[in-house]
Amino acid sequence: MKLQWFNDTKRTMKKIKVDLHVHSSHSNKPNYWALRKFNCPESYSSPELIYHAARKQGMDYVTITDHNAISGALEIAHLPGVFVSSEVTCYFPEDGCKLHVVVLNINEDSFREILELRKNLYELVDYLHHNGIPHFVAHPLYAQNDKLSADHLEKMLLLFRVFEVKNGARAKRYGTFLEELIVSLTPEKIAELADKHGLTAVGDTPWIKGRVGGSDDHSGLFIAGAHTVVPGATNLDEFLDGIIKLDSAPAGADGDPLTLAHSLYSITHSFYRQRLGSGTSASMPFIKALLERFFASDGERSSFLDKLKLFIRRNLPDGSDRGANGSFEGMLDKEAKRLLKDTEFLRSIGTESRNRKIFAVTSYLANRMIYLYTERLTRISFSSGFFDIIHSLSTIGLVHLLISPYYLAFHHQHRGKQLMADLSQRFAAKKGLQKKEKIALFTDTLNEINGVAITIRRLIDIARTRGIELTVITSSPNPTGYENGVMNFRSVGDFVLPEYPELKLHFPPVLDVIDYFEREEFTRIHVSTPGTVGLLALSIAKLMDFPIAGTYHTDIPQYVRSLTSDEILERAAWGFMIWFYGQMDEVMVPSASTRTQLIERGLAAEKTRPLPRWVDIDTFSPRHRDPDFWNRFGSSKSLKFLYVGRVSR
C-alpha cells in the first residue's frame, strides 16, 4: 500500500518538458522579402546544435518544427528522445488567410498527406483529428499575410483544441490576452460561434482548450526558453497524450522585442560569416570580438593566437589603432575597443540577462557613433562644408540602419493590437482584456525657466492628485533616472542654436527610450514640444502604433523671424510645425487666435482642441495678502507697474 502511494506521488511530481516550437537551418524558405532577396535562410542553427542545446537546457525530448519541412528533424531522428514535427503553413480556403499549425510526432507518409491538405484548413483539421495527430495553432494572434481578423480567430476556436499561449519570440501581452480569451469561453459562446460560422466545434467540450508553449527560436540563442510541460507524464507517449487530453501547460519565458532583434542579428552574423568570411576581422578586430562574445557558438570561437593579438591591440595606446583614420569602420571599432576597456560599464551589465547585455552594448555603440557624428555636424560651417554635412547626416542614417533590427522588432511586437481590440469587443472577458490608461508625456524642456516647463510641472502634480498615471519623459545632460514623475535620459549630445544660445536641443538615446516605453507598457503619448525628444515620441507612436496627441505651446515661426529676419526660414519653420502637428491625432491649442492661425497655415481644423487654462487658487489667494509688502521696498504710496507676459530667462 505504501509502495503504491510512493509510486503515485512520484508520478505526480514528474513532468516532461519539451520545446515544441524551434527552427533549424532547414527552415530555408523565409517569409520575409529581405531574407528571400539575399537568399538568406530563417535560421542557421544546425539540427545537432538544437539537440544538444535543448538537452543542456533540461528538455526531456527534442523535436524540430521547420516550416513545411521535416528534414531537420529527420537529420537527428537517430538520437535518443527525438520525434519528428513540423510547422505547417495553412490557409483558410475562403480568403487565403494564413496561419501556422504545428503537427507533432509525424512520419514521412503522414507529412506528405499533410502537405497536400494544407491549402484547405478544414480538410487538414479533419485529417489531423481523424488520425489522432497532436497539433496546435502557433502564435494565433500574429497575422502572417495581413488577412487575419476576429472572424478567423472565432473559427480557430471552433476548429482547434490546443493553442500556443507562450511564444519565446512574442510579447507576453499576446499570450496573456489569448489565455483570458480562452478562459472566457462557455458552452453558450461556442454554440453561438458555431451557428454564426456554420461550423461544428471539435471535441466533446470545445469551450475547454489546451495550452502549450515554445521558444520559436531561429537563432540558437533562446532554445527551450519557452517550452511545454505535462505533469505526471513519464515518457513521450504520455507527454503527447497529455497534449491531446488538454493536460499540458506552457512554461519558461515569454518573448520581447530584444529576443526578436537579437535573433535577427544572429542570423545576419551567421550569414555574414558564411557568405563573406572574416575579411574584415583584421580591420575591425574589436567589433569581431563583441560579435563573437554574444553570437558565436563554441565551434566559431577565435583561436588562442587571435585572442592574444586582440589583448595586445586592446592595450596599445589609442593613437596607435586604426580608429584614427576617421573612417566609419575605424571609428566604430575604436568605440568597440573603448567599450571593452570600460570596466565600470561591463561590470554594470555583468548580472543582466544575455538579451540585456547585447542590448546595452548595441545601444552604447549606437549612442557613441550618433554623438560623434552629431558633434562633427555642429562644427561644420554651412557655407564651406556642404558635402561634410551630407556625409555626417548620411552616417547618422547608417547608424540607424545598423540598429534597424530593433526598430523592426518593436514594430512587429505591436502588430495585432487592432485585432485584440476587435476581440475584446466580441467576447465577454472585457474586464480582463481592457488596460488602464498610462500616459507618457514627452518634452524637450523641463529644467529651463519657461512657461512650458512650469505647465508640465503642474500637470505632474495634478495627475498625481487625481490618480492619473502620467510619466514625463525628457532628455538632458543629467544622469539617467526616474524621480518625482520624471524619467530623464542622459543626452547623447547637445546642439546649440547659434541665434538662440539659451536654447539647447538634447539628442536622446533612441533605443533606451523606446525600450523604456515598451517595458513600462504605456498606452498613450502626449508631446509638448517639437524638438528632438518630440520627434522621437512621434517616431515611437508611428513605429509601435500608439495614439498620440500634442500641445502647441510656442509660436516658434515667430521666434525664427524675430531672431533671423529671414522669411524663408520662417516659412520653413511653419512647414515643419504644420507637418509635425499634422501627424497628431489631436492638437491642444492655447487660444482661439492660435487655432485660427494654425488652420490658416494648413492644420486640419478637426484635430484642434482648446487647452484649458487655470489659476491655482491656493497659490494666488487673498489670504496671502501682506499689507506691509511694499514697505520693504520703500514704495508703499508710489505708482506700481505690473508686467504680465512670457516667463523666460
**Region 326-336: what's the mean pLDDT?**
81
Q: Is 634 left (phi over 0), alpha (psi -120 to 50) or beta?
A: left
The cell for 348 is: 554594470
For helices 404-412 and 257-276, the axis angle rounded to 10 degrees is: 140
In this prediction, residue 91 carries a pLDDT of 96
Same domain assignment for residues 452 and 322? no
Task: Report whether 522 contacts 564 (CB < 8 A).
Answer: no
Q: Is residue 5 part of a domain?
A: no
- The residue out of 256, 284, 301 marking a domain boundary is 256
**Region 229-249: what's the mean pLDDT?**
96
Tell me the pairing of strands 548-551 and 210-214: unpaired
- Around Cβ 118, how many Cβ atoms within 10 Å? 18
Task: Give the Cα-Cα-Cα angle 320, 326, 332 (nearest 5 degrees).
Answer: 85
End-to-end Cα separation, the chain, in angstroms: 87
Q: How far apart are CA 513 and CA 511, in angstroms?
A: 5
DSSP string, 283-296: T-HHHHHHHHHHH-
Q: Is residue 532 part of a domain?
A: yes
How sure is the predictor about 350, in pLDDT bands with cuts at 50, 70 and 90?
Answer: confident
Q: Is residue 157 part of a domain?
A: yes
Same domain assignment for residues 248 and 297? no
In this prediction, residue 288 carries a pLDDT of 73
pLDDT of residue 324 exceeding 50: no
CATH for 482: 3.40.50.2000
The predicted-structure confidence for 517-562, as pLDDT tens digits, reads as follows: 999 999 999 999 898 999 999 999 999 999 999 999 888 888 888 8
In this prediction, residue 153 carries a pLDDT of 96
Q: How far apart are CA 2 and CA 145, in angstroms?
A: 58
- Residue 210 burial (10 A CB sphere; 0-12, 13-18, 19+): buried
**Region 376-396: what's the mean pLDDT?**
73
Same domain assignment for residues 132 and 171? yes
- The residue out of 409, 426, 455 marking a domain boundary is 409
Q: How many domains does the chain fold into?
A: 3
**Region 379-401: what's the mean pLDDT?**
75
- The residue out of 393, 409, 425 marking a domain boundary is 409
Q: How far apart are CA 406 and CA 264, in angstroms?
A: 9
Residues in the chain: 649
The predicted-structure confidence for 74-131, as pLDDT tens digits, reads as follows: 999 999 999 999 999 999 999 999 999 999 999 999 999 999 999 999 999 999 999 9
Which residues constitute the domain of residue 348? 276-409
| Closest alpha carbon to 173 in 462, 382, 432, 374 | 432
Q: Is residue 635 part of a domain?
A: no
How sure is the predictor about 440, in pLDDT bands with cuts at 50, 70 and 90?
Answer: very high
Of all helices (H) and strands (E), which one includes residue 166?
Answer: strand 162-167
Integer-rounded Cα Rg, in Å, for the chain is 30
Q: Measure CA 55 to chain center.
A: 30
Q: How far apart are CA 335 and CA 555, in angstroms?
A: 40
Lowest mean pLDDT among 18-22, 41-45, 347-351: 41-45
Identify residue 261 by its one-letter amino acid code: A
The predicted-structure confidence for 448-497, as pLDDT tens digits, reads as follows: 777 778 888 888 888 888 888 999 999 988 889 998 889 999 988 777 76
Same domain assignment for residues 390 and 463? no
Q: Is residue 71 part of a domain?
A: yes
Q: How far apart are CA 236 and CA 55, in angstroms?
A: 15
Lowest mean pLDDT among 29-33, 359-363, 569-573, 614-618: 29-33
Same domain assignment for residues 156 and 39? yes
Task: Give the Cα-Cα-Cα angle 148, 152, 158 (nearest 5 degrees).
Answer: 150
Query: For all residues of the chain together, what is the average pLDDT?
Result: 84
Same domain assignment for residues 232 and 295? no
Q: How far apart are CA 514 and CA 186, in angstroms?
A: 39
How sure is the predictor about 348, in pLDDT bands with cuts at 50, 70 and 90?
Answer: confident
The cell for 312 is: 595586445
Same domain assignment for residues 460 and 563? yes
Lowest mean pLDDT among 49-53, 64-68, 321-325, 556-560: 321-325
How sure is the predictor about 219, in pLDDT bands with cuts at 50, 70 and 90?
Answer: confident
In this prediction, residue 322 carries a pLDDT of 44
Q: How far apart are CA 107 and CA 67, in angstroms?
A: 16
Same domain assignment for residues 157 and 290? no
The predicted-structure confidence for 565-601, as pLDDT tens digits, reads as follows: 888 888 988 999 999 999 999 999 988 999 999 999 9
In this prediction, residue 645 carries a pLDDT of 75
Q: How far apart are CA 318 and CA 305, in angstroms?
A: 22
DSSP string, 548-588: EEEE----HHHHHHHHH--HHHHHHHHHHHHHHHHTSSEEE
Same domain assignment for residues 33 and 174? yes
pTM, two decimals, is 0.81
How sure is the predictor about 503, in pLDDT bands with cuts at 50, 70 and 90?
Answer: low
- Around Cβ 201, how many Cβ atoms within 10 Å? 18
Contacts of 205 (CB under 8 A, 6+ apart): none
Same domain assignment for residues 203 and 281? no
* Better pLDDT: 298 or 387: 387
Same domain assignment for residues 246 and 308? no
Q: Is residue 382 part of a domain?
A: yes
Same domain assignment for residues 44 and 148? yes
Percent of the chain with pLDDT over 70: 83
**Region 205-224: what's the mean pLDDT?**
93
CA torsion sign for 514, 516, 518, 520 is negative
How sure is the predictor about 144, in pLDDT bands with cuts at 50, 70 and 90?
Answer: confident
Q: Is residue 219 part of a domain?
A: yes
Contacts of 45 (CB under 8 A, 6+ apart): 22, 23, 24, 25, 217, 218, 219, 220, 223
Q: Is residue 268 part of a domain?
A: no
| Closest alpha carbon to 64 in 52, 244, 251 | 52
